Homo-oligomer: A and B are copies of this chain.
Amino acid sequence: MGSTERRQREKEQRREQILDTARSLLFKKGIDATSMNQIARNAELSVGTLYLYFKNKESLFAALQEEGLTLLCDKIKEESEKGLTPREKLEKVALAYLDFSEEHRKYSDIINYFLTSPEMVFPPPLKSRVDKHVNRILSVVEDILKKGVSKDADDREIRRLTVVFCSSLHGMLQFKKLRSTVLQGEDFRDLYMYSFDCIVRSCLFKG
């Protein structure tokens, strides 16, 4: 009978329950200030149980990071499809990235955290899994550019423009940290879209 199935379902639920609590704490207090004991307490589970579902703290947070990347990727794809012309699609992508970084600030933080930390934080297998997510995102942009850029750009150039596009937006997003000092007096969203315009303009769009 479905006893094993139920068991399976329950296990899945427990895992989610843990991730939910961890996420919530991560968002509230940051990664270093979130302890396994706290997660256990908030999840109304014992510490031991946490280690039944995740090898260690790192794995638990890695799971959250993947969660975030998947969310971001889905959002970007979904939004891009709402645009009619390539330019509009790109604009949707750019806005999706900005919105994500605001709506899911903490996901965004944790992604950046692991992505840009000076040394590889995760062991190679994890790192490569993460980079795959990044690649998926780039592909979305690449496909749009393929259709929007003037004909004489070959695949190589398209790829480069993709990277330029994404890295520029990414760079601008990083600068958001400076908004209270260096960027004083600027509306960040305006600035971000201004940057978007510059990049798109330079991509020699058809028409």
Q: Which residues of A contact B (CB under 8 A)?
A: 26-32, 106, 109-110, 112-113, 115-121, 127-128, 131-132, 134-135, 138, 159-161, 163-164, 166-175, 177-178, 181-183, 186, 191, 194-195, 198-199, 201-203
Contact among B30, B119, B163 with A27 in the assembled complex (CB-CB below 8 Å): B119
Contact A181 B116 (CB under 8 A): no
Contact A172 B167 (CB under 8 A): yes
Contact A117 B113 (CB under 8 A): yes
Nearest-neighbor residue (CB-CB) of A106 within chain B: B118
Minimum CB–CB distance from A108 to chain B (whole Å) comes to: 9
Ranked nearest first, the 9 interchain pairs of A and B with the lowest CB-CB distance are: A171-B171, A109-B118, A202-B202, A131-B181, A167-B171, A198-B202, A168-B168, A170-B171, A167-B172
Answer whether A191 and B163 are a contact pair too, CB < 8 Å, given A31-B118, A113-B118, A202-B198: yes
19 contacts between A and B (CB under 8 A): A30-B118, A32-B32, A109-B118, A109-B119, A116-B116, A127-B181, A131-B182, A134-B178, A160-B186, A160-B191, A163-B195, A167-B195, A168-B168, A168-B172, A170-B174, A171-B174, A198-B199, A198-B203, A201-B202
Give the number of copies in the complex: 4
Minimum CB–CB distance from A68 to chain B (whole Å) comes to: 12
Point out the residues of chain B lying under 8 angstroms from A186, CB to CB: 159-160, 163
Contact among B112, B113, B134, B163 with A172 in the assembled complex (CB-CB below 8 Å): B163
Minimum CB–CB distance from A155 to chain B (whole Å) comes to: 11
Answer whether A117 and B163 are a contact pair too, CB < 8 Å, given A134-B178, A174-B174, A181-B135: no
Contact among B26, B112, B175 with A163 in the assembled complex (CB-CB below 8 Å): B175
Minimum CB–CB distance from A148 to chain B (whole Å) comes to: 15
Minimum CB–CB distance from A199 to chain B (whole Å) comes to: 7
CA gap between A109 and B106 in the complex, in Å = 22
Contact among B115, B159, B178, B198 with A164 in the assembled complex (CB-CB below 8 Å): B198
Answer whether A160 and B110 are a contact pair too, CB < 8 Å, given A168-B171, A168-B199, A177-B116: no
